[in-house]
Structure 1
Amino acid sequence: MDLDTRITLTTGVALLTCALAVAGLHAYARGRAQRAELVERLTSAGQVHGSSRRRFHTLDRRLRRTGTGRRLELKLAATGLDVTPGEFSVYLLAAVAGLWLVGQATLAPFFGPIAGLLGVWAAWQFLTWQRQKRIEKFINQLPELARILANATHAGLALRTAIGMAAEELEAPAGEELARVANQLAVGHSMDDALGELAERLPSRELVVLVTTLVLSNRAGGQVVGALRNLTETLEERKETRREVRTQLSQVNMTAYAVPVLGVGSLFLMNGVKDGALERMTGSPVGQGAVVIAFALYAVGFVLIRRMSRIDV
């Protein structure tokens, strides 16, 4: 084989390799784009719960790109509410503006910003309460979930198939959350990542134990049936214990919310007894400082009562 033939052959092989490399990169990029589009569609479908039309698309897209927007999105997803971060932000701003005007009109101009801040705090507390209620409901479903997974794996089904079966049989929120996990597994997410996101959305000790058991069994290939059945009995006992503790602390929790309500009610009572009293009181720096200190003390009392009544089971 002469030198010209070798040069021609080498050049042809190099060109063929480059062409195959370009085709491979193009196929890889197209596959990643299709996968990202599918993940976004499944995620959006899970978040809006089948809603056909959303509002404030531009604001919602911009919020999702920020760290605060992503944290808000995660919190809204944990609450199960049919609302996007953009919609929640607009509704919150409208509520704050309304409370600001009502506080100025009914009490005094000084109370407008305070009423707006109280609106933000109330909205965030509502999300926290809604999220905690969803977590409690999910925890109550964990024994049945563990039982379904144990029976399915005992029958020879794979863990991925067992999760899909549990998503179909269980009601919300367990059914919705497991359906989201099944969708993530279907588009290529690992079992560790999908279950880890579930534990992040609905944080609780019981769910962490269940997720750890499933992840370790899936990773090491161990016997998951016995572990799940033992875990089912433990979750049933913890469910009853949590119910008793929640019943015992219900009065204390109501006291924590009654303290700030009484403080705000006293302002309306004072202004009702003598019209314009609050406006005259907040007309000086001393009166404004006293009002701020009073609200701060009410907030400290609320936090302390909540902290003292918190018992981790």
Structure 2
Amino acid sequence: MDYSLLAAGAALLACVLAVVGLHVFAAGRAQQQALVERLAAAGRIPPPPGRARRFAGIDRRVRRTRAGKRLERRIATTGLDVTPGEYTVYTVAALLVAYFVVGAVFTDFFGLIAAAVTVWGASAYLNWQRGRRTEAFIGQLPELTRILANATQAGLALRTAIAMAADELDDPAGSELRTVADQLAIGHSLDDAMNELAERLPSRELTVLVTTLILANRAGGAIVSSLRNLTETLEERKETRREVVTLLSQVKVTAVAVPVLGLGFLLIINGMRSGALDDMTRSFIGKLAVIVSAALYALGAFLINRMTRVRI
């Protein structure tokens, strides 16, 4: 019995279960935090104390750098409750774990590749979280436009309607509109506040809403009818987007399965002859072949994602 192959399979399974467990834990914590915030806003429980920030010294050093300032802006658009210092420490820790685990299962050369993939994955996670938050906001746009239309029809000012929508909607729309309402309260113009919102959560639907509100604020006009027509359009687009996502779900799974198959082939090769990967990565040709193969697998996953990206 080849115990090295069994150990490699067990390590891979443990990594997969760890990722799934972290995802479930993060989703549960987010739901718990949202529930606590709603109960605190309703006055049923006292407001929770602020979370103690970790790695304060590292966070201060990271924020002073230009890259740290860009990282802070990126994290702000994702809605994650994490500081730039915490994100940096977690990324470095994940990099080291990936290097040592993959290096122990395969070779040190593959550990370096895993470390590079981890750095890319940390950045890609911020982009994914930003897109996920944007998608959630888009899903709330029909309800948002309905609230704004009802409030303006009742004679309320647009700024008051935005503050009312911030109180009634859940996150992410509630927190984003609360930011807009706070900016308006301290003297920012509606154009600047809404444009900043569109920059934080870029999407066609939000751009249309922002343009409608800005034009109505500047020139007046039938804002109620415009918002009601926009509500109907957003409802139709929401249903269409849901159908498209369902149709393309199988293809998106293929994009994930392609690199996983490559990793499985490496395990099979190493199981067929012990030390095969060590022999392959000792030579320059072998290292070049590994890099080219990894690049081709990444290119395949990227092309599949690009082909299945349907803009509605």
TM range (shorter): 0.7 to 0.9
TM-score calculated relative to the size of structure 1: 0.80
Larger displacement relative to structure 2 (58-67 or 214-223): 58-67
1:66 positional shift: 4.0
**Alignment deviations for residues 130-181 of structure 1 (CA, whole Å, 9 cap, x no partner):** 2222211111110000000011111111111111100110111111111111
* TM-score, normalising length: structure 2: 0.80
Residues 36-51 of structure 1: matches in 2 within 5 Å? 51=50
Q: In the alignment, which residue of structure 2 is the partner of 1:4?
A: none
Q: Sort the Cα spacing of 1:53 and 1:164 in 2 relative to 1 into closer, same or farther, 3 A.
A: same
Q: CA–CA distance in 2 between the matches of 1:302 and 1:103?
A: 21
Equivalent residue, structure 2, for 1:289: 288
Alignment of 1:240-255 (within 5 A): 240-255=239-254
Deviations 1:37-69 (A, max 9, x none): xxxxxxxxxxxx973321233433443444433
**8 Å Cα contact 1:160/1:185 also seen in 2:** yes
Distance (whole Å) between structure 1 residues aligned to residue 208 and residue 49 of structure 2: 31
In 1, the alpha carbon distance for the partners of 2:80 and 2:73 equals 11
Q: Relative to structure 1, is the Cα distance of residues 193 and 58 closer, same or farther in structure 2, using a 3 angstrom cutoff? A: farther
Structure-2 residue corresponding to 1:311: 310
Q: 87-96 or 56-65, which moves further after superposition?
A: 56-65
TM-superposed deviation, 1:123: 2.0
Q: Which one-letter code corresponds to 1:212 in the other structure?
A: T
User: How far, CA to CA, are the matches of 1:195 and 1:82 in structure 2?
Assistant: 23
Listed as ranges, the matches of 1:166-181 within 5 Å are 166-181=165-180
User: Equivalent residue of 1:83, what SS?
Assistant: coil
Cα shift readout 1:163-212 (whole Å, capped 9, x = no counterpart): 11001101111111111111122222221111111111111100000011
Q: Which runs of structure 2 are paired with 1:30-179 in the superposition (5 Å)? A: 51-179=50-178
**SS of match in other structure, 1:71:** helix
Q: Are positions 1:223 and 2:222 aligned together?
A: yes
> Residue 74 of structure 1 contacts residue 201 of structure 1 at CA under 8 Å; is this kept in 2?
no
Change in 2 beyond 3 A, CA 1:282/1:64 = same
Distance 1:196 1:60 in 2: 29
Distance, in Å, in 1 between the alignment partners of 2:271 and 2:188 is 61
Structure 1 residues 141, 288: CA separation in 2 closer, same or farther (over 3 Å shift)? Answer: same
Q: Structure 2 unaligned runs (5+)?
A: 1-47
Q: d(CA) in 2 for partners of 1:261 and 1:91?
A: 24
Q: How many angstroms apart in 2 are the aligned matches of 1:201 and 1:82? A: 16
Instruction: Decide whether aligned partners of structure 1 residues 187 and 273 sit closer, same or farther in structure 2, where only a CA change above 3 A counts.
Output: farther
Identity %: 62
In structure 1, distance between residues paired with 2:151 and 2:272: 68
Q: Cα gap change, 1:211/1:305 in structure 2, threshold over 3 Å: closer, same or farther?
A: same
| SS of corresponding position for 1:160 | helix
